[in-house]
């Protein structure tokens, strides 16, 4: 079983690369954003629970997010592993994921992180905001999000580096080259 955690700042191309990896490796992409949308739209018990927090403007607790991931990993298409996109987001979730995978006889194979220079990320996100008509995305808010992302993910990067699982991939290459590098990294992992 190959469980891959794909990391990368907003604008690094993580979603695009996760979808390409899914096709190339035959492993399902599990995005927490997709899980939340699915559970909310279908009004599952977990979706209703998450909604009680969201309605109050609160963050959904880690336990609820972990429960959604656990439910998704229990589905048959995940029997050979999965590509986790956007999860874990913090150390509590990382430890919960380790415990969850241990329960099903799995473990993280590799944690590739798509690295892109912050100025390039800002430029990409400003273009995306313009295309999508997101007036709230300006350089200041984007840089603030980048700072928050870095502060939140630094402990995760350290956690996976200490375990020899973290691999940085140059995300400033053409999409195809990033994809080739990611496939190589995943295939070389145990």
Check whether 134 has a pLDDT greater than 80. no
Residue 124 annotated among the catalytic residues of the structure: no
Residue 128 annotated among the catalytic residues of the structure: yes
> What's the pLDDT score for residue 85?
93
CA–CA dist 84, 171 (Å, integer): 18
> What's the pLDDT score for residue 148?
86
Residue 37 annotated among the catalytic residues of the structure: no
> What's the pLDDT score for residue 86?
83
Return mean pLDDT, the chain: 93
Enumerate residues 6+ apart whose C-beta is below 8 A from 138: 126, 129
In tens, the pLDDT along 41-66 reads 999 999 999 999 988 888 899 999 99
CA–CA dist 98, 92 (Å, integer): 10
> What's the pLDDT score for residue 82?
97
Average pLDDT over every residue of 56-79: 93
Contact 106, 1 (CB under 8 A): yes
- Annotated active-site residue in 37, 48, 79, 134: 134
> What's the pLDDT score for residue 24?
94
Residue 89 annotated among the catalytic residues of the structure: yes
Percentage of the residues of the chain whose pLDDT score is greater than 70: 99
Average pLDDT over every residue of 150-171: 94
Check whether 190 has a pLDDT greater than 70. no
Residue 72 annotated among the catalytic residues of the structure: no
Compute the C-alpha angle 110/6/60, nearest 5°. Answer: 120
Core vs surface per residue 20-57: b (16+ CB within 10 A) or e: bbbeebebbbbbbeebbeebeeeeeebbebbeeeeeee
Which domains are delineated in the chain? 2-188 (3.40.50.300)
In tens, the pLDDT along 117-132 reads 999 999 999 998 888 8
- Annotated active-site residue in 19, 70, 107, 128: 128
- Annotated active-site residue in 19, 70, 89, 107: 89
Contact 4, 110 (CB under 8 A): yes
Average pLDDT over every residue of 137-162: 90
CA–CA dist 72, 159 (Å, integer): 24
Whether residue 88 has a cis bond before it, omega within 30° of 0: yes
Q: What is the pTM of this model?
A: 0.91
């Amino acid at each position: 079983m190959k469980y891959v955690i794909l990391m990368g700042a907003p604008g690094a191309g993580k979603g695009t690369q996760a979808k390409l990896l899914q096709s190339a490796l035959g492993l399902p992409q599990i995005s927490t954003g997709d899980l939340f949308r699915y559970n909310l739209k279908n009004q599952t018990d977990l979706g209703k629970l998450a909604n009680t927090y969201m309605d109050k403007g609160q963050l959904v607790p880690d336990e609820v997010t972990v429960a959604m991931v656990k439910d998704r990993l229990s589905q048959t298409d995940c029997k050979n592993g999965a590509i986790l996109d956007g999860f874990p987001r913090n150390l509590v979730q990382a430890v919960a994921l380790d415990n969850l995978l241990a329960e099903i006889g799995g473990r993280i194979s590799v944690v590739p992180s798509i690295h892109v220079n912050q100025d390039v990320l800002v430029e990409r996100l400003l273009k995306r905001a313009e295309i999508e008509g997101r007036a709230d995305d300006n350089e200041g808010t984007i840089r603030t999000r980048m700072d928050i992302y870095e502060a939140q993910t630094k402990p995760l990067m350290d956690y996976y580096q200490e375990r020899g699982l973290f691999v940085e991939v140059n995300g400033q290459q053409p999409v195809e080259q990033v994809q080739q590098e990611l496939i190589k990294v995943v295939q070389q992992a145990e």
